Chains A and B, each alone.
Chain A
Amino acid sequence: GAVVSQHPSWVICKSGTSVKIECRSLDFQATTMFWYRQFPKQSLMLMATSNEGSKATYEQGVEKDKFLINHASLTLSTLTVTSAHPEDSSFYICSARVAGGPLPTDTQYFGPGTRLTVL
């Protein structure tokens, strides 16, 4: 159990275009989803916390108008990188926190990540 999927797994786009990344919890309901970015050989940096049905909470320094997050249901959150530029190239990973049931509610389960390259 506790499987999180992400789509696409990789994407290459031209500068100025927008890219949408989907994060789904497949076998559990996720009260909260998180979006991270990770640069090569670095740790994960939290971008925003997304609660179902409410606005996302962004970390300091993250542009909310550039990284649009929508958490429409307990199993789906989307991150849209608007007007992407080469400096937005990174590995984006989502995670989901379990809402209830037999799985530990304190644990975040991660998706496989999306590698974004902006030309």
Chain B
Amino acid sequence: AQKITQTQPGMFVQEKEAVTLDCTYDTSDQSYGLFWYKQPSSGEMIFLIYQGSYDEQNATEGRYSLNFQKARKSANLVISASQLGDSAMYFCAMREGGSNYKLTFGKGTLLTVNP
């Protein structure tokens, strides 16, 4: 079974609108971390946002916020006021407890921002 599921291979959004990228995860651990990374066409993985399993509030970083619903095991990324430069591949990842900080990545969502 996949540990990280991103069901949207591709998403389109109009510039200046908000977009939500879905991510569900599967773990039996109580302590874990969830991450979102952006990968533009250049290939570099850019860290966007982190949510710890014990964090009670949703993480926010500028235009990025993470909608963490623990009971549903979902960690959706919300990008507000999309910009053309947001067009990229987005990966959700999980670090499970006791895993030596290894990350398991989802298959990614390709976001295209239209002008």
Chain A residues proximal to chain B, CB less than 8 Å? 2, 32, 34, 38, 42-44, 46, 49, 57, 91, 93, 95, 97, 104, 106-113, 115
Determine if B57 is an interface residue (Cβ-Cβ < 8 Å). no
Find out whether the CB atom of A93 lies under 8 angstroms from the CB atom of B43: yes
Tell me the residues in window 43-99 of chain B with beta carbons closer than 8 Å to chain A beta carbons. Answer: 43-47, 50, 52, 91, 95
Find out whether the CB atom of B107 lies under 8 angstroms from the CB atom of A106: no
Find out whether the CB atom of A32 lies under 8 angstroms from the CB atom of B101: yes
- Given A49-B102, A106-B50, is A93 in contact with B45 using a C-beta cutoff of 8 Å? yes
Find out whether the CB atom of B45 lies under 8 angstroms from the CB atom of A32: no
With the chains together, A62 CA to B52 CA distance in Å? 30
At the interface, is chain A mostly helix, strand, loop or mixed? strand
Nearest-neighbour CB distance to chain A for B74, whole angstroms, equals 19
Residues of A contacting B33 in the complex (Cβ-Cβ under 8 angstroms): 106
- From the candidates B42, B43, B50, B91, name the one contacting A107 in the complex (CB within 8 A): B50
- From the candidates B42, B50, B52, B91, name the one contacting A43 in the complex (CB within 8 A): B91
Find out whether the CB atom of B101 lies under 8 angstroms from the CB atom of A112: no
In the assembled complex, 17 residue pairs joining A and B whose CB atoms fall closer than 8 Å, in A order, are: A43-B91, A43-B106, A46-B103, A46-B104, A49-B101, A91-B43, A93-B45, A95-B45, A104-B50, A107-B47, A108-B35, A109-B47, A110-B45, A110-B46, A112-B42, A112-B44, A113-B44
Find out whether the CB atom of B43 lies under 8 angstroms from the CB atom of A46: no
- Nearest A-chain residue to B92, judged by Cβ: A43
Additional 11 contacts, C-beta under 8 A, given A34-B103, A49-B102, A106-B101: A32-B101, A34-B102, A42-B107, A43-B91, A95-B103, A97-B101, A107-B35, A108-B35, A110-B37, A112-B43, A113-B44
With the chains together, A106 CA to B50 CA distance in Å? 9
Closest 4 pairs between A and B when the two form their complex, measured CB to CB: A110-B45, A113-B43, A112-B44, A43-B105
Residues of A contacting B103 in the complex (Cβ-Cβ under 8 angstroms): 34, 46, 95, 108
- Given A110-B45, A113-B43, A115-B43, is A43 in contact with B108 using a C-beta cutoff of 8 Å? yes
- Nearest B-chain residue to A10, judged by Cβ: B43
- Nearest B-chain residue to A9, judged by Cβ: B43
Residues of B contacting A115 in the complex (Cβ-Cβ under 8 angstroms): 43
